[in-house]
Amino acid sequence: MQNNTKNIIFDFGNVLIDLDIERTFVSLRHFVGDDYEQKLKTVYPNGDVFVDFEIGKISEQTFLETLRSIAETPLSIRQVKEAWNAMLLTIKPERFDMLLRLRQNHRVFLLSNTNETHYNFVDGYLKTVYGFDIQHFSDTYFDKAYYSHHIGLRKPNEDIYDYVLQDAQLKAEESLFIDDVAANTEGAKRVGMKVYQHRVGDEIIDIIESLL
């Protein structure tokens, strides 16, 4: 990496917060069967319910009711929500320290594909474990945090990267984007950002200095 990086844009899941995505889809398969994707197309034929939820196009209630409607056995909304949140694990406190340290010499941002249910879960997790809410997290550790369901855009579409660059008044060539998903780093690369695909299981704290 060149050393002219002035801005660092972090993905959230599997970079700053640990995930086990398979836990959620194991739960979904348990409740609705292995063919849940085909069932979803039947009850939600005009789009992708997961994508629409991530860009705030549909409400949390609609999303959860859609999943509940394809269950093979009766489910409560609470059970559906617990299954959907099962992928979310923990945030190591050392990562907060890393972000504050980076902010001394760089502008630091968060760019997350997320949704209302996961956003609220992280809010509760932060309050319980660290004593502050997600708004404090967004304001304290980043120059600005961008959540897909708030801005109506999602990775890897180029328009979300253009939005961040324009909104934060950043130059793409001075900005490093870090994400664990190849399609997302490729999207950022297409708009001129420097990118790093983070390998799940690696610790970002151990890697970040070598990228700057």
Q: CATH no. for residue 138?
A: 3.40.50.1000
Please write the tens of the pLDDT for every residue from 185-198.
Answer: 999 999 999 999 99
**Domain count within the chain:** 2
pLDDT band at 29 (very low <50, low <70, confident <90, very high): confident
Least confident piece of the model among 38-47, 102-111, 130-139: 38-47
1, part of any domain:
no
Q: Do 154 and 161 contact (CB within 8 A), yes or no?
A: no
Q: Over 90: is that where the pLDDT of 73 sits?
A: no
b/e code 178-197 from CB counts within 10 Å (16+ = b): bbbbeebbebbbebebbbbb
The mean pLDDT value of the chain amounts to 95
b/e code 159-172 from CB counts within 10 Å (16+ = b): ebbebbbeeeebeb
Least confident piece of the model among 29-38, 39-48, 92-101, 138-147: 29-38
Question: Do 46 and 101 belong together in one domain?
Answer: no
pLDDT at position 102: 98
Question: Do 58 and 109 belong together in one domain?
Answer: no
Last residue of a domain, one of 85, 103, 119: 85
Question: Do 180 and 161 belong together in one domain?
Answer: yes
Question: Do 33 and 125 belong together in one domain?
Answer: no
Give the range of the structural domain holding residue 128, as residue numbers without chain letter.
7-19+90-211
| Cut 0.85: pTM above it | yes
145, part of any domain:
yes
pLDDT at position 24: 93
Question: Do 34 and 128 belong together in one domain?
Answer: no
Q: Over 70: is that where the pLDDT of 183 sits?
A: yes
Last residue of a domain, one of 40, 70, 85: 85
Q: Do 176 and 193 contact (CB within 8 A), yes or no?
A: yes
CATH code assigned at 38: 1.10.150.240
Q: Do 157 and 55 contact (CB within 8 A), yes or no?
A: no
